[in-house]
Every structure is written in C-alpha cells, then in structure tokens.
Structure 1
Amino acid sequence: MKTRRRLKDLSPGALIAVTTSDPLAIIDIPHLCREDGHLLVKQDALPDTPGQHRFLIRKGG
C-alpha cells in the first residue's frame, strides 16, 4: 500500500494527508493506523468529488 510506504519515510509525529477514490480505503486506512500504531486524526468524504475520501494521519512513534 502506498500510504504505508510513505509513512515509513516520515518522522514520528509527522502528518500525512491521503486522498483516495478507492471505496475500500474507508476500511483499509483505519485498519492500517490501528495495526501500525498511527493516529487517524480526521476522515471525511470530499463533497465536491463524489467517491473520494481524505484521511489525515499522524505517524506513531
């Protein structure tokens, strides 16, 4: 998963915003955060772009 690879390059506490049109991301991203110890700060659907979601993730330490 691209998000997991990007998080590896960040320092603990860094924020990353992920925008996706993958309908399974609403399940996969929260699961990734729980599994890898990251904090899902915010999750929302993009109102102007149907089918897209945005996630704000703080990398765990």
Structure 2
Amino acid sequence: MSADHTLDVKGLKCPLPVLKTRKAMKSLVPGDTITILTTDPMAAIDIPHYCQEDGHVLISADMDDTNGTFVIRKC
C-alpha cells in the first residue's frame, strides 16, 4: 500500500518516534495515510498504543530485528 506521507524517524529512541508521529499527524486531514519508518524496537508497542489512544487506524505494522514500518490512517 502506498501512503500519502512518510515520516522517517530512524535512529531516534523512545519516546521521540511516537512524539514526532503525533506532531506529523496534526498536519494531516482525516483519511490521509502516513508511513512511519523507525529503528526503535519500542515502536512496536508505542505506535499501536498511540493509534488506539488517539483513534487512528493502524493499517499495517512490520517490525524485524532492526527496522519497523507502520502505516497509519488518520481518523
């Protein structure tokens, strides 16, 4: 799936990836999608939790040993 926007937060550690995601989401309109690229292993917990707390849709979450890719739809 191709997202409307991409946010690269690779190299940043918790809580910065989710804080920068929250800030980026403010500039989107409902229905927009954003891909978050991260190397922070805590993002596997933080990004889904953020989506649940703020009411956004986590379309996909892929995490391996070093990289994570999350696609979120703003609601």
- Bigger RCO (CA 8 Å, 6+ sep): 1
Which runs of no fewer than 5 residues in structure 1 stay unpaired? Answer: none
Shift of 1:45: 2.5
SS at match of 1:2: helix
Could you tell me whether the CA contact under 8 Å between 2:31 and 2:74 is conserved in 1? yes
The alignment's TM-score, normalised by the length of structure 2, stands at 0.72
Aligned pairs (5 A) from 1:1-61 = 1-45=19-63, 50-60=65-75
- Structure 2 portions without partners, runs of 5+: 1-18
Structure 1 moving runs of 4+ over 4 Å: none
- How many residue pairs match? The answer is 57
SS of 1:28's equivalent in the other structure is: helix
TM-score (norm 1): 0.88
RMSD: 1.0
Identity fraction in percent:
49
Instruction: State the secondary structure of the residue aligned to 1:54.
Output: strand
* Structure 1 CA distance for aligned equivalents of residues 34 and 21 of structure 2: 9
